[in-house]
Amino acid sequence: MNNANSGPTASNSGAGINSALSNQAAVAKSVRDALDGKSVVFVGIMGVGKSTIGRRVARLLDLPFVDADAEIEQAADLSIAEIFEKFGEPYFRSGERKVIERVLKDGQQVLATGGGAYMDAETRKTIAGTAVSLWLDADIELIMQRVMRRKTRPLLQNPNPRGVIEDLMAKRNPYYAEADCRFVSHDVSRDTIAAEIVDMLNRKLNPGKDPLVNQ
C-alpha cells in the first residue's frame, strides 16, 4: 500500500518543482529584458549582505557578478584594511570611484558596492546612468549579527562598533534612499531573499505585466 502511494506523490512533487523553476526562469527573463542592458547595483550599509545576496541574484538572472571591494583589492594588491591603514579613507574612496566606473563599462552585470561607495556624488551619477540601483536594507540587530563575524572592517576598529554602525546608518541612509528600489532583508535563507529580490525587480521594471503569460 505504501509503495503504491509513493509513486504519484513523488511525481507530483517533481512536477511542482519543475513548475516553480519554470516560473522563476520566466520572471528572471522578464527582468533581464526590462533591464535592456543595464546592470543591477547593490548599495547599502556594511554587513547587510550585498555580496552574498548579489551573487545569488546574479545566478538567478544569469548575469556575471562583480564585487567592487574585491576589484579594488586586486587593483591595489592590498586588502581594504591595508589601503585604509597605509593611505587613508580619502585615497580609498578615490580609487573606489574609479574602479566602479571602470567595472560598469564592462557590460551588464550584478555589482555589489562597498558601504560608503554610494555617498560619492560622482559614483551615484555613474550608477544612475548605467544601472538600476537597489538599496539592500536591514534592521540594526541583523546587521550587527553579520558585521561582528568579520574582524577586518576598518571602520569597526572601535570599542563601540554598534555606535559606529548606528552613526553610519543615520548619515548614509538618506543617500541610500535615492536608489531606484529598496529591499528590507529579513531572517530567511539567502536563496529566498534572492528570489524575493528578483520578484521585486520584476514588479518595479514591469508594472502590471505577468511574466508567465506567453511562456
- Tell me the β-bridge partners of 20: none
Which of 86-90, 107-111, 124-128 has the lowest average pLDDT? Answer: 86-90
CA distance 83 to 85: 5
Q: Does residue 152 register a pLDDT over 80?
A: no
23 pLDDT tier (thresholds 50, 70, 90): confident
160 Cβ contact partners less than 8 Å away, ≥ 6 residues apart: none
Is residue 209 within 8 A of residue 30, CB to CB? The reply is: yes
Residue 112: inside a domain, yes or no?
Answer: yes
Q: What is the CATH number of the domain that holds 15?
A: 3.40.50.300
One-letter identity of residue 101: E
Domain span at 198: 2-205
What pLDDT does 144 receive? 86
Q: How many domains does the chain have?
A: 1
Alpha helices, H only, 36-139: 50-61, 68-76, 80-87, 89-104, 121-130
Q: Is residue 133 part of a domain?
A: yes
42-to-45, 51, 109, 120, 153 alpha-carbon distances in Å: 10, 8, 11, 15, 19
pTM of the entire predicted model:
0.84
Mean pLDDT of the residues in the chain: 87
Question: pLDDT tens-digit profile of 183-198?
Answer: 999 889 999 999 999 9
**Are residues 73 and 95 in contact, defined by beta-carbon separation less than 8 angstroms?**
no
With a cut of 90, say whether residue 9 has pLDDT above it.
no
The reply to whether 212 falls in a domain is no
Tens-place pLDDT, residues 50-83: 999 999 999 999 999 999 999 999 999 999 989 9
Query: Could you tell me if residue 210 is inside a domain?
Result: no
